[in-house]
Amino acid sequence: MSDTTALFIVSEAGYWGEECVEPLTTLSEAGVDVTVATPTGAQPVVDERSVAPDEVGEEMSQKVLEVHENDDRLADPVPIATVDATDYDAVVFPGGHGTQWDINQDRHARQALLSAVAGEKGKALVVCHAVGILAFTREADGSYLVEDREVTGFPNEWEEGIVDENDLLPDGRKLPYWIEDEVTAVGGAWDAELDQETSVTVDGDLITARGPGSSAAAAETLIDELGIEA
State the pLDDT at residue 130: 98
For the stretch 186-222, pLDDT in tens is: 999 999 999 999 999 999 999 999 999 999 999 999 9
Q: Residue 228 in contact with residue 29, Cβ under 8 Å? A: no
Torsion of CA 175, 177, 183, 185, to 10 degrees: 160
Where does residue 4 fall: left (phi above 0), alpha (psi -120 to 50 degrees), or beta otherwise?
Answer: beta
Q: How far is it, in rounded angstroms, from Cα 135 to Cα 219?
A: 23
What is the assigned CATH class of domain 5-226?
alpha beta
State the pLDDT at residue 230: 65
State the pLDDT at residue 120: 76
Helix axes 17-29, 58-70, angle to 10 degrees: 70
How far is Cα of residue 89 from the mean position of the Cα atoms in its chain? 16
State the pLDDT at residue 124: 98
State the pLDDT at residue 162: 96
Identify the three-state secondary structure at position 167: coil
Q: Domain segments of the chain: what residues?
A: 5-226
DSSP string, 2-71: ---EEEEE--SS-B-HHHHHHHHHHHHHTT-EEEEEESSSPPP-B-GGGG-HHHH-HHHHHHHHHHHHH-
Pairing of strands 123-127, 90-93: parallel
What are the CA-CA distances from residue 187 to residues 137, 182, 183 (Å)?
Answer: 12, 9, 7
Identify the three-state secondary structure at position 218: helix
Per-residue pLDDT tens, the chain, 230 aa: give them.
569 999 999 999 999 999 999 999 999 999 999 999 999 999 999 999 999 999 999 999 999 999 999 999 999 999 999 999 999 999 999 999 999 999 999 999 999 999 999 877 899 999 999 999 999 999 999 999 999 999 999 999 999 999 999 999 999 999 999 999 999 999 999 999 999 999 999 999 999 999 999 999 999 999 999 999 86
Q: How far is it, in rounded angstroms, from Cα 147 to Cα 230?
A: 34
In sequence order, which residues have a C-beta less than 8 Å from that of residue 107 and are 6 or more positions away? none
State the burial class of residue 34 (Cβ atoms within 10 Å of its Cβ: 0-12, 13-18, 19+).
buried
- Compute the mean pLDDT over every residue in the chain, rounded to the nearest whole number: 96
Q: Residue 56 in contact with residue 18, Cβ under 8 Å? A: yes
